[in-house]
Amino acid sequence: MDNRIYELYSDNVIIISSFSKSVGLSGLRVGYIATKNKELYDTMKIRSLYKYNSISTIPQEIINRLFNYTLGQAAFNNYRTKTKNHITKNIQYLHDNGLLFDEYTDIPTGPFAIINKTFDELLNNKISSVPLNKFTFKNREEKLKNVSRISVSVDHDLFVEYFDKMIIKL
């Protein structure tokens, strides 16, 4: 396999890609970085996997080899189909229960959704989220303090179990 992708780019370009998002492997840390910057390259050689939860080269190699075989491609397609099904059901569940962000013009389709719950409300119900007001323009902080971004790329039954507990409490 040719691993010289960096030769295709200018000196000041850094390519970062995650198979986790691009091929539907949500939750797995599988990806690569391509750069001609020697200082950055040398820094990346430091194995910080265990301290900082960085990308691991072992899973990358396993996934790369797996995709080269028919059985691996079939497993990948099956995983992707199931994940897409769970995402669709989870977003529909949020929509049906009035939890989707009020300003959506279309129902979202990706692995994340913005919902009308605060970070603290979700945390109290053991649901991981990102408080949206921490990652927006300053003039929208107040408006977005009651919404959060969550992953909807999880098993639908588990998703419903956690959100049903929160809805019942209300």
The two tokens of residue 138 are 């300053």
Enumerate the H helices of 97-143 as residue ranges.
119-124
Q: Does domain 79-169 have CATH number 3.10.129.10?
A: no
35 versus 154: which is more confidently predicted?
154
pLDDT at 49: 46
| Contacts of residue 140, Cβ cutoff 8 Å, sequence gap at least 6 | 133
Residue that is written with structure tokens 């295709």 in the block: 8
Integer Cα distance of 121 and 113 in angstroms: 16
Enumerate the H helices of 19-137 as residue ranges.
19-22, 38-44, 49-52, 57-66, 70-96, 119-124
pLDDT in tens, 109-153: 888 899 999 889 998 888 888 887 666 555 566 777 888 889 898
The two tokens of residue 16 are 């970062």
Helix (H, G, I), strand (E, B) or coil at 109: coil
pLDDT higher than 60, residue 38:
yes
pLDDT in tens, 67-122: 788 888 888 888 889 999 999 999 999 999 999 988 888 888 888 899 999 889 99
Cβ atoms of 155 and 123 within 8 Å: the answer is no
The two tokens of residue 45 are 């050689």
132 DSSP 8-state letter:
G
What ranges do the domains of the chain cover?
5-66, 79-169
Give this prediction's pTM.
Answer: 0.62
